[in-house]
Amino acid sequence: MNGALHAVVMNPSLIFEKMDAEYRKFFFDTMATGALKALTREKSRDEKYLEVIANILEGYTRLFLELLKRGQYVPVFFDAMKNVFEHDSILHNYNYQISEEELKRIRSANQEWRRELKQGDMVDAIIDEASSRCSGWSQARIESVNSDVLHLEFIYDNKSADRYLDRWSVEISQFETKTKEIFEWKKTIEVGSFIDCNDKTSWNKAHIMELKDQEVAPGRTIKVGFIAYRIYQENGTKTDEKGKFEGWSSRFDEWVSIYSPRI
To the nearest 5 percent, what fractions of the chain are helix, strand and coil? 35, 30, 35
Dihedral sign, CA of 146, 92, 13, 35?
negative
Closest C-alpha to 225, from 249, 247, 182, 192? 192
Domain boundaries, the chain: 3-95, 112-176, 181-257
Dihedral sign, CA of 85, 183, 161, 199?
negative
Q: Is 70 exceeded by the pLDDT of residue 209? A: yes
Can you name the residues that pair with 187 across neighbouring β-strands? none
DSSP alpha helices (H): ranges in 112-260? 112-115, 180-186
Contacts of 100 (CB under 8 A, 6+ apart): none
Residues above pLDDT 70, as percent of the chain: 75
SS3 category, 213:
strand
DSSP class of residue 32?
A: H
Q: State which CATH number among 2.30.30.140, 3.30.565.10, 3.40.50.300, 3.50.50.60 fits the domain covering 112-176.
A: 2.30.30.140
Categorize the per-residue pLDDT at 89 as very low, low, confident or very high, splitting at 50, 70 and 90.
low
Please, are residues 123 and 170 in contact by the beta-carbon 8 Å criterion?
A: no
Question: How many CA atoms lie within 13 Å of 189's alpha carbon, on the beta-carbon side?
Answer: 28
DSSP class of residue 17?
A: H
d(CA 254, CA 167): 35
Report pLDDT digits (tens) over 126-182.
Answer: 887 655 667 889 999 999 998 888 999 999 998 888 988 888 887 889 999 999 999
